[in-house]
Amino acid sequence: MKRIYVVGTADTKGAELAHLADRISAAGGTPVRVDVGTRARTIPVDIEASDVAAFHTAGADAVLGTVDRGTAVAAMGEAFRRFVLSRDDIGAIVGIGGGGGTSIVTSGMRELPLGLPKIMVSTLASGDVSPYVGVSDIMMMPSVTDLAGLNRLSRTILDNAAAAITAMASRPATEQESRPAIGLTMFGVTTACVTSVMAQLADRYDCMVFHATGTGGRSMEKLADSGMLQGVIDVTTTEVCDLLFGGVLPATEDRFGAIIRTGLPYVCSVGALDMVNFWAVDTVPARYARRTLYKHNPNVTLMRTTPVECEALGRWIGGRLNLCEGPVRLLIPEKGVSALDIEGGAFFDPKADAALFAALEETVKQTSDRRILRLPHHINDPEFADALVAAYREIAKT
């Protein structure tokens, strides 16, 4: 039977952990109290900290035998991650924590399947939670007050968390999707292209679109690695711009890694490689002050990539594509790579585009399975979307 795991440090958050578990029981759920503390617990639990710590590669002493708190927290996080992977009865998980507890609990939550309910009640939830959420679907709930004993507000917050996780755990199973899933990447400046591709493939595929904001690309590749995707149409590879040139929505060095590892049918393009993302205009680094900038909105500023940068992009992406052993098609839109890169547009720069395209053609080692197709279209032209669909159907053999 699937159960609701209630996780926290029972040495410092015992009262809160017990209250949360009690409220889940009252709501009809079946809680499992898991201690991830590194000192003596203050309440009874169902799974002891020593049982979790034993999952560390160096054994429980590597977690509970250290005096330094930071070392112990990091070690318990690694142990809890491995512990979670060993369980087959987790129907939902809710955690509570301050800085250390949040780090420990979310390290395990990130290993759980997407769609499995996850709530983290944390003192850090109103700040930048990207290190804790990653590319998972963890719901971060601010504790508002510190988790340092129960009070009228903390009880209410914990009661809400208990009600939410119990309801989420008891929802009917989602109807299974019969269509195979494919991943697509999109930005606002490539929306017309991706929308057209989806319209042509929706009757055959479950099209999962990811916003190319750094985490979007990582999420798509995580699903590819997990076996949830049958193929990828990676129209918008813009995250590489931010990786190479210091933008705020970067890919990681592992961009395209899932395609390399899995060999999935892969169609890609150069969508939005004309831009690097920054926040408000006053956040653009001083070294870029004289560059072509576009105020997308009050909070987002775009910077046009130069010919030199475009050459670097082409060589970096080409090198990654050369590692792909599955079927690959790279489609190049000769008349522009985004809605801004069009004649009369703010980022129209044929020389920069030419440098990008030339670097790709010089770098990519073309074979019968790895091919480049240049097309006399803009990326948002209907004909370019048609070509993407045709290329995918060819290599996916559908």
pLDDT for 337-356, tens place per residue? 999 999 999 999 999 999 99
The pairing of strands 139-142 and 118-122 is parallel
* Domain 3-169: which CATH number of 3.90.650.10, 3.40.50.12020, 3.40.50.300, 3.10.20.30: 3.40.50.12020
pTM, to two decimals: 0.89
Q: What mean pLDDT is predicted for residues 359-372? A: 98
* Tokens at 80, concatenated: 């809890």
Among 138, 128, 126, residue whose Cα is nearest residue 7: 138
Annotated domain spans of the chain: 3-169, 181-396
Q: What mean pLDDT is predicted for residues 309-319? A: 98
Contact 5, 93 (CB under 8 A): yes
Residue 228's pLDDT is 94
The pairing of strands 206-211 and 139-142 is unpaired
Q: How far apart are CA 57 and CA 207, in angstroms?
A: 39
Contact 264, 231 (CB under 8 A): yes
Q: What mean pLDDT is predicted for residues 99-108? A: 97
pLDDT value at 131 more than 70:
yes
pLDDT for 30-42, tens place per residue? 999 999 999 999 9
Q: Which residue has the tokens 């892969």?
A: 266
Domain topology for 181-396: Rossmann fold (3.40.50)
Q: Which residue has the tokens 């968390």?
A: 161
pLDDT for 249-263, tens place per residue? 999 999 999 999 999
181-396 and 3-169 share a CATH fold: yes
Contact 93, 109 (CB under 8 A): yes
CA dihedral over 285, 290, 294, 297, signed as positive or negative: positive
Among 376, 367, 373, residue whose Cα is nearest residue 390: 373
Q: How far apart are CA 23 and CA 9, in angstroms?
A: 18
What's the angle, vertex CA 263, arms to CA 259 and CA 267, rounded to 5? 60
The pairing of strands 300-304 and 275-278 is antiparallel
pLDDT for 144-184, tens place per residue? 999 999 999 999 999 999 999 999 999 887 777 889 999 99
With cut-offs at 50, 70 and 90, classify the pLDDT of residue 79.
very high
* Tokens at 141, concatenated: 């709930």
With cut-offs at 50, 70 and 90, classify the pLDDT of residue 1.
low
The percent of residues above 70 in pLDDT, for the chain, comes to 100
Q: What mean pLDDT is predicted for residues 4-24? A: 97
pLDDT value at 398 more than 90:
no
